[in-house]
Structure 1
Amino acid sequence: MTILKTLIAGGQICLKRFYATSPKFIEVTQDNGIEIISMARKPVNCLNTELLNELKLLISEAQNNRSKGIILTSSLPTVFSAGLDIMELFTTDKGKLIDFWRTLQDTWLTVYSSAIPIAAAINGSSPAGGCLFAMSTEYRVMVEGKHVIGLNETQLGMVAPKWFKDVYISLLGYRQAELALLKGAMFKPEKALQLGLIDELAKDKADAIEKCKNYILSFDNIPGLGRTITKVDLRNDLIQWLKENKKADTDNFVNYVQSPKVQDGLKLYVEYLKKK
């Protein structure tokens, strides 16, 4: 069962819309030229193929529409994202697993390499895959409280992929990331701020969004081309690594998840959830 836990593992709003491809999975509002993208897949924003595809599309559209920037957040009150959706993993369909993992890779690449400023308003717990997407933005503001954030894979008998770990290392520094990954540590907001996993604390979600807006608007007088080239250059090593190793990374994931031990465990967990 421990293996499974990590796999599941201000201004006036001028427009609000839902996308028909995955109803209510993501809500989008526009404020002062900034796209606020709120994950809205109850109960805990588990990352499935549909949500990931919509997130990728919306970020691409925001860039194409020359938005000032993007704020990634959650419409749920106590969670940012609980990580990967177990139902995407509980399958013997190799094609489905490949599609899911490639979608996760592509969506992450879209977030991590966004040409326009992107910030995360983290309004709840954010383990594993949720942590990945939060820390892959440029700026992170986390609401104070009892919720936690971190890559907890090793605590639960798993290994985070290279592209998870390398982003962690870039924020925490090698030694702190090494300790955190070895222990599978989860951090409360104050500790996450101390370590550099987040950039600011906020008293509530509205405050977090306002601070993310301030970050994005701070680039109003910075030429966009120079900013974008600098960002891509800073992040290019990991971007290129994943692009060149997508198949091997996917094969590793599929081979692991399709093992009888993991599929048997997934079956037990799904049956447990149905009884709740």
Structure 2
Amino acid sequence: MLDILPHDGGIHEIRMARAPVNAFDFGLVQALREAIVDAPSNGARGIVLSGAQGMFSAGVDVPALIQRDRAGVKEFWDAFFALCGAIATSSVPTVAAITGHSPAGGAVVSLFCDYRVMAHGVYKIGLNEVQVGLSVPEPIQFAMRRIVGAYRAERLLVAGAMVDAEQAHAIGLVDELAAVEQVVTRSVQWLDDLLKLPTKAMLRTRAIARADLTAVWGDTTHLLDPGFIDDFFGEETQTVMKALIARLKSK
């Protein structure tokens, strides 16, 4: 499900490799969280999180998730929140190398990284949860507001909007664009430049700058609103998700 690729300077690339679209099932979420948590003790001074060319991650594996009972659905979302918390509180800087499309959960994960490099061109990114019948929990909305501002976040989240790479860059949802085959290279270069700075000063300043994020995401044990699980099993959400699965099967 993952490939761990070393780069010079103690940079570890964690590449999602769950074919065909890096959809987040429980196994991928768990493996990714463990890799991020373990990376510093394995010698990583920085992390690049990447996907396949053309597809960073298609988000949550809805067909797998909808088969779970209430306890299983809660287990998945608790694990997903723990993954986001692990990125948010990582002791080393992280870069999201957004190597292609990044809807929903793929976009969510990128919010918690220090920096985002996205492939330019036809690729789109956004938190389109509303379009698939899911609300966006407050802690994730907070992470989105932190990056693009309160009003911009509201407009994007309420509409479940997907935007192309150029617009994402213009509004600050991603920090820079690169050719799809250069996204990882550019992510490594940015991280390498950061790691050349005086280490203690950089990491201390980083910790101060991210204190608001870690205050919210430092402990995800009770971060998920139980109402979100109630809504997941509600008629509207179930109907929309089943229609989505039917469309996916017909392709």
- Regarding TM over 0.5, the answer is yes
Provide Cα deviations, 1:207-236, integer angstroms capped at 9, x if missing partner.
211211122112334343443343333333
Question: Which of 152, 157, 174 is matched with 1:198 structurally?
Answer: 174
Write the distance in 2 (CA, Å) between the matches of 1:274 and 1:233. Answer: 47
CA distance in 2 between partners of 1:167 and 1:219 (Å): 22
Alignment partner for residue 239 of structure 1, among 214, 228, 231?
214
CA RMSD, Structure 1 to Structure 2 (Å): 2.3
Change (3 A) 1:245 1:134: closer
Q: Could you say if the C-alpha distance between residues 248 and 137 of structure 1 is closer, same or farther in structure 2, counting changes exceeding 3 Å?
A: closer
Q: Confirm or deny: 8 A CA contact 1:91 1:263 kept in the other structure.
A: no
Percent pairwise identity = 30
Whole-angstrom CA distance in 1 between matches of 2:179 and 2:239: 43
Unmatched segments (≥5 aa) in structure 2 = none
State which of 47, 52, 76 in structure 1 corresponds to 2:29: 52
Separation of aligned partners in 2, 1:261 and 1:202: 39
The number of residues matched between the two structures is 250
Among 87, 103, 121, the alignment partner of 2:97 is: 121
Q: After TM superposition, give the deviation of residue 138 of structure 1 in Å.
A: 0.8
Uncovered stretches (5+) of structure 1, i.e. residues with no partner: 1-24
Corresponding residue number in structure 1 for 2:126 = 150
- Asked if residue 100 in structure 1 is aligned to residue 94 in structure 2, the reply is no
1:256 is matched with which residue: 231, 234, 239?
231
Taking the aligned partners of 2:123 and 2:86, their CA distance within structure 1 comes to 27
Equivalence for 1:160: 136
Whichever residue aligns with residue 94 of structure 1, its letter is: R
Question: Cα–Cα, structure 1 residues 265 and 198, in superposed 2: closer, same or farther, change >3 Å?
Answer: closer
Taking the TM superposition and a 5 Å limit, the aligned residue runs for 1:10-159 are: 25-32=1-8, 33-75=10-52, 77-91=53-67, 93-159=69-135
Instruction: Report the AA paired with residue 109 of structure 2.
Output: F
Distance 1:27 1:147, change over 3 A: same
What secondary structure sits across from 1:46 in the alignment? coil
What's the TM-score, normalizing by structure 1?
0.81
Superposed displacement of residue 159, structure 1: 2.2
State the TM-score, normalized to the length of structure 2: 0.88
Contact 2:17/2:51 (CA < 8 Å) preserved in 1?
A: yes
What letter corresponds to residue 46 of structure 1 in structure 2?
A
